[in-house]
Amino acid sequence: MISLDEAVTARLESHGERFEVLVDPDAALSIKRDEFEGDLEDVIAAEDVFENASRGDRPAEGDLEDVFGTTEPLEIIPEVIKRGEIQITADQRREMQERKHNKLVNQITRNAVNPQMDDAPHPPDRIESALEDAGFSVDPMEPVEEQIDEALDALRPVIPIRFDEVTVAVQVPPDHAGSAQAKLRSFGDLEREEWQADGSWIGVLTFPAGLQNEFFDRANEVTSGEAETQIIKDEDDIKTR
């Protein structure tokens, strides 16, 4: 369950009665869209249905039966959310907007590069500034994933940007291969790997282009700076870093 501070109220008025439930705002939106795949008990603040949640008043069981055909809260809660309205305060709206704004910036930073700077990643503060210059505002009531394309359209007149992936080959020397390869191979999609006769490990990984600096930092960290990396753009064009 979540805390009361994290929950919003979903309210349904039917048959002259009011029914309220307390639920995580993002989960409520997913449930309303029939996209929720988690455990309902993890995203509610109370396994209960209220007539007035702020006072803790509960509806009569007969009213629950009349409207929902059951008195089981876990069966009723999704119905209240789907058929009702999600009530959020101004403070909750600001908090949701800030959280989704940060998530949007993170998603763009992870995936975006600057095509005019040899596909270098954009730092988060540049994305933040460009979104502000573009006048883009995150909708707290929509999933971040559904706002990325709109955000990119707003960013393109402000900064050169595109979403891309990068493929990197990394060679780890024998002294670090055993532990380092396990930490590096999970960073992205492992395209192929080879163990050399001297005990060194070579892996080729593909991951969002915005993460390349993070990958290089990790490779240096787990090999004490002894890793060799190559950005593979195509078979005839290999850039060594």
Separation between Cα atoms, residue 111 and residue 214, nearest integer Å: 12
Task: Give the CA angle between residues 143, 73, 71 to the nearest 5°.
Answer: 140
* pLDDT tens-digit series, residues 1-43: 999 988 999 999 999 999 999 999 989 999 999 999 999 999 9
Residue 234 has a pLDDT of: 65
Sign of CA dihedral 33, 34, 39, 40: positive
pTM: 0.70
Q: Which CATH architecture has domain 90-163?
A: Orthogonal Bundle (1.10)
Judge whether residue 60 has pLDDT over 80: yes
Label residue 92 by pLDDT band (50, 70, 90).
confident
Residue 238 has a pLDDT of: 38
Cα–Cα distances (Å) from 186 to 11, 106, 180, 219, 241, in that order, read 43, 20, 11, 12, 21
Judge contact between 26 and 138, C-beta under 8 A.
no
Is residue 30 classed exposed, middle or buried when 0-12, 13-18 and 19+ CB atoms within 10 A define those classes? middle
Count of positions (residues) in the chain: 241
Average pLDDT, the chain: 92
Q: Percent of the chain scored above 90 by pLDDT?
A: 85
Q: What CATH number belongs to 165-237?
A: 3.30.70.240
* pLDDT tens-digit series, residues 125-150: 999 999 999 999 999 988 899 999 99
Separation between Cα atoms, residue 14 and residue 69, nearest integer Å: 13
In sequence order, what are the residues at sequence separation of 6 or more whose Cβ sits closer than 8 angstroms to the Cβ of residue 76? 19, 21, 49, 64, 68, 70
Residue 88 has a pLDDT of: 87
SS3 content of the chain, % helix, strand, coil (to 5): 45, 25, 30
CATH of 4-87, one of 3.30.450.20, 3.20.20.60, 3.30.413.10, 3.30.1250.10: 3.30.1250.10
* pLDDT tens-digit series, residues 209-234: 999 999 999 999 999 999 999 999 76
- Domain boundaries in the chain? 4-87, 90-163, 165-237
